[in-house]
Structure 1
Amino acid sequence: MFSSDIRGRFRSMMDLQRLRLLNELRSRRTIAAVADALSYSPSTVSHQLSELQREVGVTLFERDGRRLRLTEAAHVLARHADVLLARVELAEAEVAATAGAVTGVVRIVAFQTAAFLLAPALADLAARHPGLRIETVMSEPDEALEALERRGCDLAICDEYEAVPRRRPAGFAFEELHVERVKLVVPRDHRVAGGTPVRIRDLESEVWAGGAPTESHGRLIIEVCRKHGGFTPDRRHQTCDVLALLALVSAGQAVTLLPELARPERDPAVAVLPIAGQPVVRRIFTAVREESLARPALAAVLAALREGRRAKLVR
């Protein structure tokens, strides 16, 4: 139990930013990583964490080589910090809702090809709400969800393939935004480039290009080849960058899988073909923290994304 002196110190501690730094250190593990993520200097992060430890009055950090290791007290405090930060976010959202003004900053983390859905929504928001500032970072969906959990962003746009479902953390609100098919992409003069659906098992001897096994695109290729073809693909080239994938395929150095939203047909040197048998489907969804749903700025962004989806369906 805390002493009465420690309780007094704890009750006087109201700096939520330092609590956020504690949470960031818990997940990122190093001061340098926290500083880089939040655009602070390492010395600033170190000083603020030292101040937090002084204010609480108990040891929160211990040196472990060149790293700071969180003590049990720090982990306890970080768990309470999660609750406090969530309550503050809820209060801010509800206060903003009473004003009704669509202003402020909304930070979005999305995967690369989501830009084709996001960009039209941003144009619509700029016209309707000039006081709203949207900031975007392109990153892998797993990283987007982690950023949302750490409150490093307000909205995550993620994808998942039926062969590789994505986790759904508690406390998040999810909404499906787009559903599309995944296509096979091969060189224009490839032996299977006849326009008819292609059996994956006919590509067992091919060289494949795709994401790393830890990334959703890499896992997709592995699972589709295993499920539809009964083989392990020869993945010699690892990248999730669409332009790099198309360059490899158009040069005759690989085949790959790409969803329709990536628009592989824009490269005249490749052939885009349907997969025979059960379709391979990608789903795109948004994720936000439940306590932020009442915030008008975030609600406006979600509404713009929905309108873009409906417009796409009408076309």
Structure 2
Amino acid sequence: MNRIEWLVMYDLHRLRLLRELKHRGTLAAVGDALGYSASAISHQLAILEREVGVPVIEPVGRRVRLTDAAELLVAHTERVLLELEQAEAAIAASRSSVSGQVRIATFQTAAHTIVPSALDRLADEHPGVDVSFQHVHAEHALPALLARDVDLVLYEEYPGSPVAPITNITTEHLLDDPMLIATPAAHAASSLAGLADARWAMEPSGTRAREWAAATCRAAGFEPRVAFESVDVLLHARLVAQGRAIAFLPALIANTVGEFTLTPSGASRDIRLATRTGSQANPALEAVRRALRASV
């Protein structure tokens, strides 16, 4: 049976609901994302079970999970959606003008630097492209891309902690962003080891940035004394400028805020672009990608 025959046999809307459940985890989360009640989703999945002839979800405590048969259905659904995405991109490419909406998920420092420059460029070159963006950490941004909540993701990878490849997502390198040791102007240190007794500003535990920062300090022979935890890197910079903390700051924003001393750490983070495979031919999306490349 080819995919067209398979698509006719099963309802694509219900297959998409099953796919959403795999990516979002709960019926409530699917309902919030799509504007349905949990009971309505359950009803649609019950119809899908009758169509397929086998169970597609099973209870696990107060939650549900996909059965093996459902996982197989989702894998086929991903391929069908990929072909639909390619068709959508091809239709968009056939238009005489470049227009459309592109939703970006990005991280804080890129939102302050790379994205505004790209928006200015797009406004001049492609005013018909409507761009919106939201600040989302990489841990959540790539799943959001796969779930079609966004169309493009700007994310960061830290040394020794690459993001595992995800099926149906294509990534590309945008730039290397050196990580710098920021110290108050009156507190320059000749080495990282010399900051063993300092108070640090770092991102919260469990984030890739924190894991890298802590591992870098441990490699220098000490456990960092983290006095300030925040996902706000600009706040880290302000605390350093006030003489209250030491921090690792990315070069992307280190020279744009505060007065402090900057010393190379010897490491860089990898700034990357991610799109859904099959969508790259969409002219509006390609225009945004070109603008982001040009802005760095």
Check whether TM > 0.5.
yes
Query: Which residue in the other structure is 1:302 paired with?
Result: 289
Aligned match of 2:170: 173
Match of 1:79 in 2: 75
Secondary structure of the structure 1 residue equivalent to 2:16: helix
User: Which residue in 2 is equivalent to 1:286?
Assistant: 273
* Structure 1 residues not aligned, in runs of 5+: 1-7, 310-315
Q: Which sections of structure 2, spanning at least 5 residues, go unmatched?
A: none
Q: CA deviation at 1:156?
A: 1.1
Question: Which letter does structure 1 place at the counterpart of 2:295?
Answer: G
Q: In structure 2, do the counterparts of structure 1 residues 94 and 256 end up closer, same or farther at CA, with 3 Å as the change threshold?
A: same
Aligned to 1:24: 20
1:265·1:272 contact (CA, 8 Å) conserved in 2? Answer: no
Q: For 1:75-132, what per-residue CA distance to the aligned partner results, in whole angstroms no more than 9, with x for missing partners?
A: 2211111111111111211222223532222221111111110112122223333332
Within 2, Cα distance between the matches of 1:38 and 1:203? 49
Which range moves more in the overlay, 60-69 or 154-163?
60-69
* Superposed counterparts of 1:6-155, under 5 Å: 11-15=8-12, 17-38=13-34, 40-115=36-111, 116-155=113-152
Aligned residues: 291
Deviation at 1:10, TM superposition (A): 7.3
Pick one of 190, 197, 201 that aligns with 2:193: 201
Q: Is the 8 A contact 2:89 2:282 kept in 1?
A: yes
**Deviations 1:271-295, CA, capped at 9 Å, x for gaps:** 13113xx622122111112311111
Alpha carbons of 1:202 and 1:306: their partners in 2 closer, same or farther (altered >3 Å)?
Answer: same
TM-score (norm 1): 0.81
For residues 39-92 of structure 1, the C-alpha deviation after alignment (integer angstroms, 9 at most, x for no partner) is: 555455444444444544432223333322322222221111111111111121
Give the Cα separation in 1 of the matches to 2:160 and 2:61: 42
Structure 1: distance between partners of 2:99 and 2:117: 19
* Cα shift at 1:299: 0.9
Matched, 1:258 2:249: yes
Among candidates 201, 210, 232, match of residue 241 of structure 1: 232
Change (3 A) 1:167 1:60: closer
User: What is the identity percentage for the equivalent residue pairs of Structure 1 and Structure 2?
Assistant: 37
**2:266 aligned counterpart, secondary structure:** coil
| Separation in 1, partners of 2:202, 2:35 | 31
Root-mean-square deviation (CA, aligned residues, Å) is: 2.7
| Offset, 1:163 | 4.2
Alpha-carbon distance, 1:221 to partner: 0.8
